[in-house]
Amino acid sequence: MKQPHSILIVEDEAVIALDLKLELQDMGYRVLGPARTGEQALALAAQEPPDLVLMDIRIQGPLDGVETAARLGRSGEPPVIFLTSHSDDETVARAAQTAPYGFLTKPFQSRELRAAIEVALSRAALERAQRESDRWFACTLHAVRDGVLVLNPDATLRFLNPAAEVLTGWSADEALGRPLQEVVGFADEAGAPAALESLREGRAVQVRHARPLRRRDAAEVAVDESAAPVVSDDGRRMGAVLVLRDATERLQRQAQLDAERQQLQAVQAQRDAQAQLLSRASHEMRTPLNAVMGFAQLLRTLPGNEGESAQRYIGFIEEAGQQLLALVEDLLDLQQGNALSLVLCPLALTDCVQAALAPLTAQALARRMTLHVGVDPALRVHADAARLQKVLCNLVDNAIKYGHEGGHLWLQAQQLQAQVRITVADDGEGIAPEHQARLFQPFSRAGREHSAIPGAGLGLPTARSLVQAMGGTLELLSVPGQGTVVKVELASA
């Protein structure tokens, strides 16, 4: 249930005070007092703040009604209505300085009193709501990081928040009332602040980026600037709002991004040039290598080369030629990537596994490694036979070269719904975490570039490029001291 409004009576004539109290109670108000002096009124108001004060101007004691009202109203509350028999100009002028909510001359009618009270209470409620709204608005503007400046119609400053103080170098106390251009000046050709244009033309000005704001101390700071007019309900221009945002951090980030973009573009250009060079060199090398291989085979059949030494030397030529030719093929496959010409079709996985292991069996025996193969003959994959064979050959070759001599190597496969997973694992020394991120970069050998183990660092990059070209994935997991596992997943056929 809503409580009735409380009214404090300040009246030193007992009969009038009592009559006024009864009259207010009949109207439904709750009465505080009456107080006979200013001191009593202040004490009662401190004990229970009233919603309104009916104040006689001439009261007992050192404080008259005007002084008492002034002391009560220092906080903006409560509203005061003066009651007096004296309406001379001097008394009215003194009372007006306290901004009263009404002035009733004795004697007055009940309806006049009630009307004055209701008008004062309504006005007080509206002003209280406005003060609260202004307080919310001011607190919000003080909290935002953007500098906010509010202009009067004559382009003088009405308000600026702390962020604007920091940006301009002017305190609010010093800046208020000054022309905007005295506080906000720019060093660029655009000249005047956007708020002046907004105030003059009555339209919003969109963000102007990175304007050089000249601070009070002559230092410059880059800001993003925007402005909008403040227009009343009847279309009258009441002023404008200028918003300044410190652009220093944004410009630094932009410069950093530009530098990184240029660096990436330079790296990409270098990679493209390297790829083009590798592609051209690979194509140019393939023809003479094929000639070398052909003539090596021819040498085996020529008269005079039947001896053991001659045949062994020819074998060296063929072996070196095969290694170079394999390197060229890897370079071409790696360079073409997804542009490879593939023949994707259903394949029996065991056929590809056997074809990949055949040329590597002797290498595994030479290192006394035990090979464990577990592939179900029923497993079929959707792939290019030659490319899949090359992937498996590269992975098994790596496992043999980098596994422990006398260790174990596993090649297994399993069905995973619509995928087939092929796993190649060894129990070798594994790969250090700091090298794993570079494993799929061409020519990277995980810190073994200067080891006695042969290789060019193209096996894994080529294998993954081929698997991706066939629509699959290749993942490597390695734990130092335990070994390495490579998982290939391809579509099941």
b/e map 359-379, b = 16+ CB within 10 Å: ebeeebeeeebebeeebeeeb
CA distances to 44, 102, 211, 238 from 155, in Å: 46, 36, 20, 10
Distance of alpha carbon 49 from alpha carbon 459, whole angstroms: 88
* DSSP assigned state of 492: B
Q: Can you give the pLDDT at residue 458?
A: 75
Distance of alpha carbon 364 from alpha carbon 358, whole angstroms: 11
* DSSP assigned state of 2: P
Q: Where are the beta strands (DSSP E) in 363-493?
A: 370-374, 380-383, 408-416, 419-426, 473-479, 483-491
Q: Which residues pair with 226 in a beta bridge?
A: 243
* DSSP assigned state of 78: S
* DSSP assigned state of 287: H
With 0-12 CB in 10 A as exposed, 13-18 as middle and 19+ as buried, what is 95? Answer: buried
Strands 370-374 and 147-151: unpaired
Which has more pLDDT, 308 or 203?
203
pLDDT tens-digit readout, 266-303: 888 887 776 676 666 666 666 676 777 777 777 777 88
Question: What average pLDDT score do residues 346-359 get?
Answer: 89
Q: Can you give the pLDDT at residue 94?
A: 83
Percent of all residues in the chain with a pLDDT value above 70, rounded to a whole number: 88
Given a cut of 70, whether residue 457 has pLDDT beyond it is no
Identify the weakest region by mean pLDDT among 17-31, 169-183, 372-386, 445-459.
445-459
Phi, psi of 343 (to 5 degrees): -115, 90
- Using pLDDT thresholds of 50, 70 and 90, give the confidence band for residue 1: low
Question: What average pLDDT score do residues 34-38 get?
Answer: 93
- Using pLDDT thresholds of 50, 70 and 90, give the confidence band for residue 444: low
Strands 30-35 and 6-10: parallel
Q: Is the bond leading into 107 cis (omega within 30 degrees of zero)?
A: yes
Please count the other Cβ atoms lying within 10 Å of the Cβ belonging to residue 470: 21
CA distances to 117, 395, 416 from 390, in Å: 98, 9, 23
Q: Can you give the pLDDT at residue 105?
A: 85
Q: Is the bond leading into 78 cis (omega within 30 degrees of zero)?
A: yes
Q: Which residues pair with 240 in a beta bridge?
A: 151, 229
Residue 484 near residue 404 (C-beta atoms within 8 A)? no
Segment holding 469, helix H or strand E: helix 459-469
Q: Nearest to residue 90, comparing CAs of 113, 64, 60?
A: 64
CA 361 to chain centre: 55
Question: What average pLDDT score do residues 49-71 get?
Answer: 91
Domains annotated on the chain, with CATH: 6-140 (3.40.50.2300), 144-246 (3.30.450.20), 254-338 (1.10.287.130), 341-491 (3.30.565.10)
Which has more pLDDT, 13 or 446?
13
Query: Two tokens at 265?
Result: 């573009």
Listing from the earlier edge strand, what are the strands of the sheet with 157-160? 157-160, 147-151, 237-246, 220-231, 205-214, 185-186
**Residue written as tokens 């992975």?**
395
Residues 6+ apart with CB under 8 A from 333: 340, 387, 390, 462, 465, 466
**Which SS3 state, helix, strand or coil, does residue 307 take?**
coil
pLDDT tens-digit readout, 390-402: 899 889 988 888 8
Alpha helices in 302-348 (DSSP H): 308-336
Q: Can you give the pLDDT at residue 278?
A: 63
**Residue written as tokens 């001439």?**
58
Given a cut of 70, whether residue 111 has pLDDT beyond it is yes
Q: What is the pTM of this model?
A: 0.49
Average model confidence (pLDDT) for the chain? 85
